[in-house]
Amino acid sequence: MLGILGRKVASQGNPSWGLEQGLRVIASRAFSSSAKEMTVRDALNSALDEEMSADPKVFLMGEEVGEYQGAYKISKGLLEKYGPERVLDTPITEAGFTGIGVGAAYYGLRPVIEFMTFNFSMQAIDHIINSAAKSNYMSAGQMSVPIVFRGPNGAAAGVGAQHSQCFAAWYSSCPGLKVLAPYNSEDARGLLKAAIRDPDPVVFLENELLYGESFPVSAEALDSSFCLPIGKAKIECEGKDVTITAFSKMVGYALKAAEILAKDGISAEVINLRSIRPLDRSTINTSVRKTNRLVTVEEGFPQHGIGAEICASVLEDSFEYLDAPVERIAGADVPMPYAANLERMAVPQVEDIVRAAKRTCYRASSLAAAA
């Protein structure tokens, strides 16, 4: 029987896989093929719909969320179903409608504030940081602020420096906020539901380029009661040679890098952070103690980034387990260029992750020879 399974792994998998890893991958493929496919856009839309249906205190507010069905069609159909009192189109004034949302949360409602891009949240940052994030502490726990700030974050394509910034590090540095960054459709559904139900303010960082991508969604995730825990990362791909951490769109890049590395006999463990604050330090450190190597990946600027925080955590808790220096992959330390060729150079690519992982495994020379 083991011989038959071994031949199946050999025919369907990568030669570097062991029997256990190969069977796990084949099983996941079989599951994926039977699971329903759903775009990230539809996952977010269904999560909003179900939470608004379950709790009349939940409402959506932002620019073009109603009559236009949302700038990215995330709120499609919600105005018709719930009416203009719960799906509110606003003027182009982030400071105004964000302040209204925070006040509504003080009153006990559960607003979902949509920014057309998180770059525009800079207009409203006083309400987010000084009002929403700090009120629970400043009221000695007497005042909850159950509000979600959501919208596309990070680089899109050809939109220039003022519309391409990643704000994960900005918001996750502030006590009182929770910061979530989904990658696939299951993340989007489960984490948005968790954010809306949470008693504290949540910054929910989506990615414009992921909205139209489809991912397998389990039957469990399609249930209206489905909810993912805040503060818990997910191991997307198990490995034993190097740990790669990523969030949002970079998880897909990390998984592609892991496939390339497997062809060279390097087994990479890919961690989808999901939650930026609170950060799942336990899962990260447990993985590093197994693989003894770490590569962090993010789209944001390198200084004071999420990767820097992960590096600090690993050096504090697992330094003696490291067999190589930690590698940080981040966006270039410049405002985002507009030219397409320069834009590609300014954000991490799959080949950057592969090179970094090979350096940690002391395999960089073979890559240079191949280049």
- Domain boundary (222, 255, 275) is at 222
- Record the tokens describing residue 312, joined without a space: 């600090």
| 4: in domain | no
Q: Are 204 and 289 contained in the same domain?
A: no
Phi then psi dihedrals of residue 58, to 5 deg: -80, 130
| 340: in domain | yes
Q: Are 199 and 59 contained in the same domain?
A: yes
Per the DSSP assignment, residues forming a β-bridge with 297 are 329
| 15: in domain | no
Contact (CB, 8 A) for 113 and 149: yes
Q: Which of 286, 254, 247 lies closest to 268, judged by CA?
A: 254
Domain that holds residue 260: 234-361
Q: Are 269 and 304 contained in the same domain?
A: yes
| 290: in domain | yes
- Domain boundary (222, 247, 266) is at 222
| 20: in domain | no
Per the DSSP assignment, residues forming a β-bridge with 89 are 62
**Per-residue confidence in pLDDT tens, the chain, 371 aa:** 445 445 554 455 554 455 555 545 444 444 444 579 999 999 999 999 999 999 999 999 999 999 999 999 999 999 999 999 999 999 999 999 999 999 999 999 999 999 999 999 999 999 999 999 999 999 999 999 999 999 999 998 888 889 999 999 999 999 999 999 999 999 999 999 999 999 999 999 999 999 999 999 999 999 999 999 999 999 999 999 999 999 999 999 999 999 999 999 999 999 999 999 999 999 999 999 999 999 999 999 999 999 999 999 999 999 999 999 999 999 999 999 999 999 999 999 999 999 999 999 998 644 444 44
| 1: in domain | no
Q: Are 291 and 250 contained in the same domain?
A: yes
When divided into structural domains, the chain yields a total of 2
Q: Are 164 and 41 contained in the same domain?
A: yes
Q: Which of 297, 298, 254, 65 lies closest to 165, judged by CA?
A: 298
Q: Are 256 and 208 contained in the same domain?
A: no
pLDDT recorded at residue 125: 97
Q: Are 207 and 314 contained in the same domain?
A: no
Which active-site residues does the annotation give? 94, 163
pTM for the full model?
0.88
Q: Which of 353, 256, 364, 365 lies closest to 295, judged by CA?
A: 353
| 25: in domain | no
Cα(275)–Cα(300) distance, integer angstroms: 16
- Record the tokens describing residue 163, joined without a space: 């519309």
* Pairing mode, strands 36-39 and 214-217: antiparallel
- Record the tokens describing residue 42, joined without a space: 């539809």
CATH of the domain at 354: 3.40.50.920
Q: Which of 201, 212, 126, 163 lies closest to 338, judged by CA?
A: 163
Q: Are 190 and 332 contained in the same domain?
A: no
Cα(207)–Cα(346) distance, integer angstroms: 17
pLDDT recorded at residue 33: 45
CATH of the domain at 202: 3.40.50.970
- Domain boundary (222, 247, 267) is at 222
Residue 133 has a CB neighbour count (10 Å cut-off) of: 22
Per the DSSP assignment, residues forming a β-bridge with 39 are 214
| 7: in domain | no
Q: Are 134 and 209 contained in the same domain?
A: yes
**What does the chain come to in residues?**
371
pLDDT single digits (tens) 165-186: 999 999 999 999 999 999 999 9
Q: Are 139 and 263 contained in the same domain?
A: no
Q: Are 109 and 180 contained in the same domain?
A: yes
Cα(1)–Cα(109) distance, integer angstroms: 59
Q: Are 263 and 241 contained in the same domain?
A: yes
